[in-house]
A and B are shown apart, each in its own frame.
Chain A
């Protein structure tokens, strides 16, 4: 039997129940999506965009699916108590694939945002209360033609977070979403998020991924983001999970004219990660800053795939990804920026810099620009190197032990990605987390980390 067949069978058995729990905007695409998966299967390394990450292999493990969406007896607001003060934000949790609203705090945050005109909360709920709002955007940016994990997600996803910031509105504090895997069994989570930032609106969004237990988990999270004219979005993504985690994340962004988006994606600690970012620049003078960093050790796998489409001219993309790979870890960066015919006055810069600390770690990099316009400013490049030996010796000659000197150089290398973070408290915290990570210390009790010990 194929890897896909059991999922198709489950769909056939459960679709009616899933649809009954869910609502029209989400249900509209399910059948098409499962058919696409049945037809094409999961992506394998033979697929152009998946040369380093075999999705069929990841889905071959028999995980439990929580299609009835029962609530696990776990209140993240209690477990993550000490995190709340760390960064002043509107804090929400998605536990496995269910938006958590069983705590009064979640309801209070929803109400506080509502006062500012913002609709935030569970996608499942909002699809019922505001079906026209969800239907207008849902599935409009996420494409599954080159990535059938998105089809899988569309067929099965029932919940996730939803944020709608209307015209000219700006939140008082950042919104923070913590995706947490929790459950005493191997388990799969399939969640779906939708973010709409209208004309002239502004949103700072923190999205963290954690595991609170060491079971085998797979999560597939698809996020669609729409940013209107003059809209601004800063999105900070942090992964801090266990080695037994498979994380498949797809982010689809559509930007209108004069909009400004920053995505800062840090893979601090993980298992097997595949991040896919797809950005469509649809109106002139849109600007995108895309940066990421990944720290690998053990046999971690970190694959970042990015695609930016300059559909029109006068837009700007700045892309920087950095990897620091230790031990047997494997990194892959596959980034493409497409400048269409007629997209004149495009500025696009792409850079991927990597440090492979040990001879057994591997980095695959494939930066590329595809340009069909002639009046553009573009550059791209990649470097793979080791820690600077002269700098190491210089530090040792001052009495700094080799291990400490290495750590200082790794932290220094990561610095410019962290310096892009515009929320000061988050930036400070991230500097500290990265340093702890390099020191091999546990990341306990910081905003966005595992278990709370206090």
Chain B
């Protein structure tokens, strides 16, 4: 059984249908890339999977770890092991990074029946994971994402991922707005956390990130549907030819 099984998923924002029947199965240990032109519904898919209340699911099913994902509150999905690296991480003035991440880590432990981490254990874990993504020490004492540069925000997402050790990570355009150095750091972090038990969905426009995080399967999402699924060689083909040939295949050009 797959870690994630999406069947015929339809979702709306307001009256507008954005996802129009998505089918996708992801097994433990796999990395899937989802590519596709702007506005095709990639962020919508990640928002629906994490339970963002802005979107309504109108049809279809999603099983995660053998459980009905769509019935779960966003926080339970997270505690079951779902993680989204946001395309646009949210600033939370007045809530310190330390307090935020400690609360998140301990809530997850509570859910799994483990005791809260001691202050020493927590700080040790935080130090390790912070070093992994080369996140500046002083950021830990600031408010969540407030005053962080674009690159710092993205590295902070991967830091949180490292702290929460999810089963499924969705990286939504984590590469956008990153210079090569930051990209390398992010990829290093992701690869470090990769193992045979967990899986990732990497959403991106470009080949660059996929040079570092090599996918097993590549999908093209277009107009709310997955219209193509191939091996990693599809990345190079898309890089070379763009999306016009896909649009043409779909009868749109």
Q: Which residues of A contact B (CB under 8 A)?
A: 388-391, 393-402, 404-405, 408-409, 411-413, 415-416
The reply to whether A412 and B86 contact each other, CB–CB distance below 8 Å, is: no
The A contact surface, by secondary structure, is: helix
Residue on B nearest A407 in the bound complex, by CB = B103
The reply to whether A408 and B75 contact each other, CB–CB distance below 8 Å, is: no
Residue on A nearest B86 in the bound complex, by CB = A394
The reply to whether B73 and A397 contact each other, CB–CB distance below 8 Å, is: no
What residues on B are CB-neighbors of A399 within 8 Å?
75, 78-79, 104, 107-108, 111, 164
8 tightest CB-CB pairs across the interface, nearest first? Answer: A412-B94, A399-B78, A396-B74, A394-B90, A398-B104, A399-B79, A396-B75, A415-B94
- What mask results when residues 95 to 115 of chain B are scored 1 for a CB within 8 Å of chain A, else 0? 100011101100110010000
- Using A397-B51, A398-B104 as known contacts, say yes or no to A408 and B78 having CB atoms under 8 A apart: no
Q: How many residues of B contact A (CB 8 A)?
A: 32
- Using A391-B90, A415-B94 as known contacts, say yes or no to A404 and B73 having CB atoms under 8 A apart: no
Residue on B nearest A412 in the bound complex, by CB = B94
The reply to whether A396 and B78 contact each other, CB–CB distance below 8 Å, is: yes
- What mask results when residues 26 to 57 of chain B are scored 1 for a CB within 8 Å of chain A, else 0? 00000000000000000000000011110000
Residue on A nearest B50 in the bound complex, by CB = A397
What residues on A are CB-neighbors of B93 within 8 Å?
412
**28 examples of A-B residue contacts, CB within 8 angstroms:** A388-B92, A389-B53, A391-B90, A391-B92, A393-B53, A393-B74, A394-B92, A396-B73, A396-B75, A397-B50, A397-B51, A397-B74, A397-B75, A397-B78, A397-B86, A398-B78, A398-B104, A398-B164, A399-B111, A400-B100, A404-B103, A404-B107, A411-B94, A412-B92, A412-B93, A412-B95, A412-B143, A415-B94
Residue on A nearest B46 in the bound complex, by CB = A397
* Residue B60 interfacial (CB < 8 Å): no
Distance in Å: Cβ of A1 to nearest Cβ of chain B: 52
* Residue B209 interfacial (CB < 8 Å): no
- Which of A390, A399, A405 has its CB near the most chain B CB atoms (within 10 A)? A399
The reply to whether A409 and B95 contact each other, CB–CB distance below 8 Å, is: yes
Instruction: State which residues 179-204 of B face A: CB under 8 Å.
Output: none
The reply to whether A400 and B103 contact each other, CB–CB distance below 8 Å, is: yes
Bound-state Cα–Cα, A409 to B103, Å: 13
Distance in Å: Cβ of B102 to nearest Cβ of chain A: 10
* Residue B174 interfacial (CB < 8 Å): no
The reply to whether A402 and B75 contact each other, CB–CB distance below 8 Å, is: yes
Bound-state Cα–Cα, A412 to B92, Å: 8
The reply to whether B94 and A400 contact each other, CB–CB distance below 8 Å, is: no
- Using A396-B51, A397-B84, A399-B164 as known contacts, say yes or no to A413 and B103 having CB atoms under 8 A apart: no
* Residue B89 interfacial (CB < 8 Å): yes
The reply to whether A413 and B94 contact each other, CB–CB distance below 8 Å, is: yes
What residues on A are CB-neighbors of B53 within 8 Å?
389, 393
Bound-state Cα–Cα, A398 to B89, Å: 12
Residue on B nearest A408 in the bound complex, by CB = B95
The reply to whether A409 and B92 contact each other, CB–CB distance below 8 Å, is: yes
- Using A393-B52, A393-B53, A393-B74 as known contacts, say yes or no to A400 and B92 having CB atoms under 8 A apart: no
Residue on B nearest A413 in the bound complex, by CB = B94
- Which of A394, A395, A398, A402 has its CB near the most chain B CB atoms (within 10 A)? A398
What residues on B are CB-neighbors of A388 within 8 Å?
90, 92
Distance in Å: Cβ of B69 to nearest Cβ of chain A: 13
Bound-state Cα–Cα, A393 to B88, Å: 13
Residue on B nearest A394 in the bound complex, by CB = B90
The reply to whether B51 and A401 contact each other, CB–CB distance below 8 Å, is: no
Bound-state Cα–Cα, A397 to B50, Å: 7
What residues on A are CB-neighbors of B103 within 8 Å?
400, 404, 408
The reply to whether A395 and B92 contact each other, CB–CB distance below 8 Å, is: yes
What residues on A are CB-neighbors of B100 within 8 Å?
395, 398, 400, 408
What residues on B are CB-neighbors of A412 within 8 Å?
92-95, 143
What residues on B are CB-neighbors of A409 within 8 Å?
92, 94-95
Bound-state Cα–Cα, A409 to B90, Å: 13
What residues on B are CB-neighbors of A393 within 8 Å?
52-53, 74, 90
Bound-state Cα–Cα, A356 to B89, Å: 25
Bound-state Cα–Cα, A391 to B73, Å: 16
What residues on B are CB-neighbors of A413 within 8 Å?
94
Distance in Å: Cβ of A435 to nearest Cβ of chain B: 11
Bound-state Cα–Cα, A412 to B143, Å: 9
What residues on B are CB-neighbors of A396 within 8 Å?
51, 73-75, 78
Distance in Å: Cβ of B86 to nearest Cβ of chain A: 7
- Which of A389, A390, A395, A411 has its CB near the most chain B CB atoms (within 10 A)? A395
What residues on A are CB-neighbors of B77 within 8 Å?
397
Bound-state Cα–Cα, A416 to B143, Å: 13
What residues on A are CB-neighbors of B84 within 8 Å?
397
What residues on A are CB-neighbors of B75 within 8 Å?
396-397, 399-402, 405
Q: Contacts A397-B50, A398-B100, A408-B100 given; 18 further ones with Cβ under 8 A?
A: A388-B90, A389-B53, A393-B90, A394-B90, A394-B144, A395-B104, A396-B73, A396-B78, A397-B74, A397-B75, A397-B77, A398-B104, A398-B164, A399-B108, A401-B73, A401-B107, A412-B93, A413-B94
- Using A397-B51, A408-B103 as known contacts, say yes or no to A402 and B164 having CB atoms under 8 A apart: no
Distance in Å: Cβ of A416 to nearest Cβ of chain B: 8
